[in-house]
Amino acid sequence: MKKIILFALLAFLAVTSANAQLRIKMGKNSPIEKLGRAEIAITNLYVDSVDENKLVEDAIRGMLEKLDPHSSYTTAKETKAMNEPLNGSFDGIGVQFNMVDDSLLVIQPVTNGPSEKVGIIAGDRIVAVNDTAISGVKMSKEEIMKRLRGPKGTTVNLTIVRRGIKDKLTFKVKRDKIPVTTMDAAYMIRPGIGYIRLGSFGLTSHKEVTMAMDSLKMKGMKDLIFDLEDNGGGYLQTAAQIANEFLEKGDLIVYTSGRAAPRQEYKAQANGRWRKGKVVVLTNEFTASAAEIVSGAIQDQDRGVVVGRRTFGKGLVQRPLTFDDGSEIRLTIAHYYTPSGRCIQKPYKKGDRLDYAMDLDKRYKHGEFTNQDSIHLSDSLKYYTLRKHRVVYGGGGIMPDYFVPLDTTKYTKMHRQLAAKSIVINQSLKFIDAHRKDLKNQYKDFNKFLATYEVPSSLIEAIIAEGKKEKIEPKDEAELVQTKKYLAVQLKALVARDIWDMSQYFQVWNETNEIVQRAVKLLTTGK
């Protein structure tokens, strides 16, 4: 058994050594020998039976937990689920849905997807999958998704309840590749100013962004707001491709360096398609990893400015090491550095993942999100941009050129509680489901909707009433007024999303987004 374990480990190391020079210490008292003997002893001698695979997985996780916060182990199932949103597609029936009153409500079928092709429409309720009831049985969203998804070419029978139709409808849907888009919105936010919001850096992101750039240029875009708020990152190669679109051939985008990983530079491979117009990149405390690479490259190369708040500070390079069963170690091998030499990774204590996880909370309590003066930076953290030699600061994350504080008064405690209990989303879905046809007939043009639509007070009062049932009430009249004010904006955005798409959602929402509005002001007034 011991030999089998060692041979398996050596085989894994042999595979990984194709991309890395690995030193293996073998022989008496070696760490590998010790680990193998411990596993054999536990498996064969322990008083109770043990799951050998789980034992090994726990050992791997235990080792990685003593390192940096981002080195990790995932099972085959976890690895597949983690990579799927970035891989450009998955196999399924092609619907956007949400759970309302313990039933699956179709928000939108994917355009030209399998469900749309057979006649499934927005507002349909899927109550059974292959004769198995999914409505009224308290089935988890994950379990429902597992039943709806399946290999391309396989079929699934869906039982549908449709508003205005007495009898249940049955549709036979042939599963297909469903595209996963990473771009949330692209539109002209003001005359001459284009706006693109990217949610993550996936395999299709570069194509999505360049197509949006070309489309907006045809609509008269002279300057661009590139919104990376809440973008948690993704593929390094995609980040390099997108950064390239703003830069000159040969411009440094990012470089990596680590103890066993020599410096590797990523440079613009060609002149980008958006090298002339002004660029404003938007960031906040949830902007991370690949999004920080793009933000840092544009800032350091003096191609544009960054507006918002300091980014998350995830600048560790992970190399995936895959086992034969599909499980994977993502091992940190290097740091990311911006062109000026700033390390993107924020400081951390090895083995203290709780402290790392609480960093954003500590930043909030320290006042960093609301007061720029709370951020104290020493001269040792000073760096200089490559063309204009402007001062930029290291210390982890990307510091914005123009700080925009978090408006802590915008969302009241009452609003947050209503959202946390899913009262806002559930009531909005019920409203839209009941009025979808009338809304589509009345507002065939989105611009008319944006300019004239007002959320009915009855919908807001229904949300307040549902909150009261959950003992959610305002502390005073002022909190109630503020809650209703922003509920109206949120609900209008949700209606726009369900009638059109995410781009329209952000067109509504961005008119109240302080970071977006600061960027608009900067481009229109120059200050």
> Do strands 103-109 and 125-129 pair parallel, antiparallel, or not at all (unpaired)?
antiparallel
Strand order across the beta sheet in which 223-227 lies: 183-190, 193-198, 223-227, 279-283, 305-308, 402-403
Three-state secondary structure call for residue 61? helix
> Do strands 402-403 and 252-257 pair parallel, antiparallel, or not at all (unpaired)?
unpaired
Cβ–Cβ < 8 Å for 333, 321: no
Q: How many CB atoms lie within 10 A of CB 101?
A: 11
Cβ–Cβ < 8 Å for 186, 158: no
For 251, counting Cβ atoms within 10 Å of its Cβ (0-12 exposed, 13-18 middle, 19+ buried), the class is buried
Count of positions (residues) in the chain: 527
The secondary structure element, H or E, covering residue 503 is helix 502-509
Cβ–Cβ < 8 Å for 243, 297: yes
Catalytic residues, by residue number, are: 289, 300, 314
- Rounded to whole angstroms, the Cα distance separating 225 from 188 reads 10
The vertex-202 CA angle with 493 and 152, nearest 5°, equals: 95
Cβ–Cβ < 8 Å for 293, 238: no
Ramachandran angles phi, psi of 465, nearest 5°: -65, -40
Ramachandran angles phi, psi of 54, nearest 5°: -65, -35
- Rounded to whole angstroms, the Cα distance separating 457 from 437 reads 20
Q: How many CB atoms lie within 10 A of CB 201?
A: 29
Three-state secondary structure call for residue 216? helix
